A and B are shown apart, each in its own frame.
Chain A
Amino acid sequence: MRIKEHPIIGEIKKGRLVKFTFDGNEMEGYEGEPIAAALKAAGVMVHRHTSKLDRPRGIFCAIGRCTDCVMVVNGKPNTRTCVTALEEGMNVQTQYGVKAKEADEA
């Protein structure tokens, strides 16, 4: 959930509201914020599934170190969503192993 007003920070400055797609579904987020922040605000927890054991992974360190939150962004796999800025019209896909699901790619 987004914090509407904060007792110390006040209003949190954001870019303009833009649309993007997550696994084919249209979503909204603020331009320039990390993709992970937009997904978290929309309640998305799972960013990828590991290749061998198919285990779910999501945000873990949120500063670009751990690579748990990587997804397929605009066709590019292993994109660290916690440090990649959201742009209008981005195509964000859950990553399975090192690629998106075949069906989503088609």
Chain B
Amino acid sequence: MKRYNLAVIGAGPAGLSAAIEAKKHGMEKVAVFDENSRPGGQLFKQIHKFFGSKEHKAKIRGFKIGEDLLAEAEALGVDVHLNSVVAGIYFPMKRLGVIENECLINYSADNIIIATGANENFIPFDGWTLPGVIGAGAAQTMMNLHGVQPGKKILMVGSGNVGLVVSFQLLQAGCEVAAVIDAAPRVGGYGVHASKVARTGVPFYLSHTVVKAEGEDHVTGAVIAQVDSHFKPVPGTEKHIEVDTICMAVGLTPMSKLCSMAGCKMVDKGGAVPETDKYGATSIEGLYAAGDVAGIEEASSAMITGRISALAACRKDCYITDGEFEKEYDELEGSINKLRKGMFSHENKGRTDITKTDEGIDLSMTLLTKGYVSDREIERFPGVVKEKGVHPVIECTQNIPCNPCQDACKFGCISVGEDITSLPYVNKASRCTGCGMCVANCSGQAIFLVNDDFEPGYSTVTIPYEFIPRPSIGDKGTALSRGGEAVCEAEVVDIKVSPVFDHTALLTMKVPKDMSMKARFYKGKEAL
């Protein structure tokens, strides 16, 4: 029987990071098992720029992070077993039963890290089994991995980050998003994710659920309805929406079966998860859990928890001293704590009573109910300033863990400060050159350049633009507001692309001067 110093189950962000960390600290035989034919877990479907700060690989797109992790694991000699289903886990023998090539093969390992991630949740409704009702993950898989549109016109159910990010990706794939709905009274995900969807004209219906998928052998429409405070549909509020696809993004449940099979003490944390200490060690000696399987977070923290578990295993087996372990752990703990702050942190999950930012500014209620900040509300945020000439307008209005904007500006125009969940503000003293690095580097696409002195009567607004076909200089179209409504005519006066912008084009449009704080999206003559 083949024996490993460490066997990791799941080659996603947590698992790959764990294997890399173990190798780096001297473990010789490290294996990762994954049931898929490709490693990387869900990272390769994430085509958006990640949040966090530099140490969390902020502003790098998820699939690139996946490629980097994979290359590192390969270079270090991690033994990656693909198409390998871990079907059994046996303690105290510390053995894995793995189905490979239709054979059951046993492996033994001194340490096992379970990093199996999570399953998508679904809500049942009339017609939910019809072809055309799919998971948000399925939509991502079809369009971002296989290049096939999941549908033409989609209803997104769920306004958490997954629902919002996938809605935007559907638009990028050339699909139409008919609406984003959520039974909750508030948008669940980051406001910046909602805003980039809303400004393209996608309506948000909060306190709404889907009651029916219409169609005989596939979806031809959906019926949505408003819900009361108990999430029950209110009769008489039904609305028909013409769609061919209903996409569900209604949460994730840890895929923790192997943990319970191993005999771990389990607790309920949004689904059954193994009870772990701060190093990811379960109740069973030598068995760890990292990433979403130990409690749903996101990929950035999964990479850190994976590393922490591997370090703990390295210490247990004396690959590193207690002192070395403490030092590295403190660093990683500091790093993960930065991500776990702000209004979207674990302790604030599901709270609807937060009304102010950490800075004491009233939150935008329009953002929470319609997906965009109103013209009146936007004025009160510290990134929104009026200056002479070209300058950034930062429409970042919630305390989310992210600070690439601060590093993007070489001229020190933008500050977030020590705490990466603080709202960015514009330093008036510094001088903006209009380079656009902040616009391209903002993972939330919430930074715009405004120039109210472009020419008499006209201003320019520079927006991040991640769609094709890209408009050309001289094109005339319509400027849309934050809520996606047509506000005025717009002429494209510049379109910048550069490798440093990483596929985010900077589109500069000329609009009447009184529209510079309203126009936030450009729609060409041919519909988006």
A103 within 8 A of B: no
Complex Cα–Cα for A41 and B151 (A): 10
Whether A45 sits at the interface, judged by CB under 8 Å, is yes
* C-alpha spacing A34/B143, complex, angstroms: 12
**Cβ contacts under 8 Å, B172 to chain A:** 6-8
Contact B37 A59 (CB under 8 A): no
Determine if B452 is an interface residue (Cβ-Cβ < 8 Å). no
Query: What separation, in Å, do the CA atoms of A57 and B219 have in the docked complex?
Result: 11
**Chain A positions within 8 Å of B468 at CB level:** 5-7
In the bound complex, do residue A8 and residue B147 qualify as a contact, i.e. CB atoms below 8 Å apart?
no
- CA of A58 to CA of B503 in the docked complex: distance in angstroms? 33
Assembly CA distance A57 to B131 (angstroms):
5
| A residues in contact with B132, CB < 8 Å | 45, 58
Closest to B130 in A: A56
Which A residues touch B416, using CB under 8 A? none
The verdict on B76 contacting chain A, using a C-beta distance below 8 Å, is no
Which residue from A1, A5, A59, A65 sits with its C-beta under 8 Å from B149? A1
Contact of B71 with A by CB under 8 A: no
Does B277 sit within 8 A of A, measured CB to CB? no
A46 to B218 alpha-carbon distance, docked (Å) = 7
CB of B149 within 8 A of CB of A63, answer no
* B residues 321-336 in Cβ contact with A at 8 Å: none
Our pick among B37, B129, B130, B138 for the contact of A62 (Cβ within 8 Å) is B138
Residue of B at shortest CB range from A85? B37
Q: Tell me if B129 and A57 are in contact (CB < 8 A).
A: yes
Q: Say which residue of A34, A56, A61 sits within 8 Å of B146 (CB atoms).
A: A34
CB of B138 within 8 A of CB of A63, answer yes
A 14-48 binary contact with B (CB < 8 Å = 1; else 0): 10000000000000000001100100110001110
Would you give the shortest CB distance from B243 to chain A, in whole angstroms?
A: 14
> Nearest chain B CB to A52's CB is how many angstroms away?
13
User: Judging by beta carbons under 8 Å apart, are A40 and B148 in contact?
Assistant: yes
Question: Closest approach, in angstroms, between the C-beta of B189 and any C-beta of chain A?
Answer: 19
Within the complex, the shortest CB–CB distance from A50 to chain B, in Å, comes to 8
Q: B218–A62 contact, CB under 8 A?
A: no
In the complex with contacts A8-B466, A37-B142, A85-B37, A58-B218 CB distance below 8 A: yes
| Cβ-defined contact, B143 with A62, below 8 A | no
Task: List the A side residues contacting B135 at CB < 8 Å.
Answer: 60-62
Please count how many residues in chain B sit with their CB below 8 Å of the partner chain's CB atoms.
37
Q: Does A106 contact B (CB under 8 A)?
A: no
Whole-angstrom distance from the CB of B199 to the nearest CB of chain A?
A: 16
Quick check: is B408 within 8 A (CB to CB) of the other chain? no
Query: How far does the Cβ of A37 sit from chain B's closest Cβ, in whole Å?
Result: 4
Binding site for B on A (CB under 8 A): 1-3, 5-9, 12, 14, 33-34, 37, 40-41, 45-47, 55-65, 68, 82-83, 85
- Report the Cα distance A55→B216, complex, angstroms: 9
Tell me which residues from 173 to 191 in chain B have a Cβ below 8 Å from any Cβ of chain A.
173-174
Residue of B nearest to A55 (CB): B129
Q: Other than A7-B468, A8-B172, give 18 A-B pairs with Cβ distance below 8 A.
A: A2-B149, A3-B149, A7-B172, A7-B503, A8-B47, A12-B147, A14-B147, A37-B147, A40-B148, A45-B132, A46-B218, A59-B134, A60-B135, A62-B134, A63-B138, A64-B35, A64-B36, A85-B37
Where chain A touches its partner, the secondary structure class is: loop
In the complex, A37 Cα to B218 Cα: how many Å?
17
Residues of chain B within 8 A (CB-CB) of A64 are 35-36
The chain A residue with its CB closest to the CB of B120 is A61
Q: Which residues of chain B have a CB within 8 Å of any CB of chain A? A: 35-37, 47, 61, 63, 119-120, 129-135, 137-138, 141-144, 146-150, 152, 172-174, 217-218, 466-468, 470, 503
In the complex, which residue of chain B has the Cβ closest to the Cβ of A5? Answer: B468
Q: For residue A60, which residues in chain B have a CB less than 8 angstroms away from its CB?
A: 133-135, 138
C-alpha gap A85/B120 in the complex (Å):
23
Identify the closest chain A residue to B152 (Cβ): A1
A-B contact pairs, 22 of them (CB 8 A): A1-B148, A2-B148, A3-B147, A3-B148, A3-B174, A6-B173, A7-B466, A7-B470, A9-B47, A9-B63, A12-B146, A37-B142, A37-B147, A41-B148, A45-B218, A56-B130, A58-B132, A61-B134, A61-B135, A64-B36, A82-B141, A83-B37
Bound form: Cα–Cα A41–B143 in Å: 11
Contact with B36, one of A9, A46, A83 (Cβ below 8 angstroms): A83
The CA-CA distance from A62 to B144 in the complex, in Å, is 12
Given contact pairs A33-B146, A65-B119, A85-B37, A8 touches B503 in the complex (Cβ within 8 A): yes
Picked from A3, A61, A63, the residue with its CB within 8 Å of the CB of B143 is A3
Within the complex, which residue of B47, B142, B217 is in contact with A56, where a contact is CB–CB below 8 Å?
B217
- List the B side residues contacting A62 at CB < 8 Å: 134-135, 137-138, 141-142
Q: How far is the CA of A37 from the CA of B141 in the complex (A)?
A: 9
CB < 8 Å: which of A8, A14, A34, A58 contacts B131? A58
Q: Separation in Å of the B119 CB from the closest CB of chain A? A: 6
From B131, B137, B142, B467, contact of A45 by CB (8 A): B131
**A105 to chain B: closest CB distance in Å?**
22
Q: B61, B129, B142, B470: which contacts A40 (Cβ < 8 A)?
A: B142
Chain A residue with the shortest CB-CB distance to B144: A9
> Which residue of chain A lies nearest to B502 when distances are taken between CB atoms in the complex?
A8
Q: How far is the CA of A85 from the CA of B37 in the complex (A)?
A: 10
Q: A1-B149, A2-B147, A7-B468 are in contact. Are A63 and B137 (CB under 8 A)?
A: yes
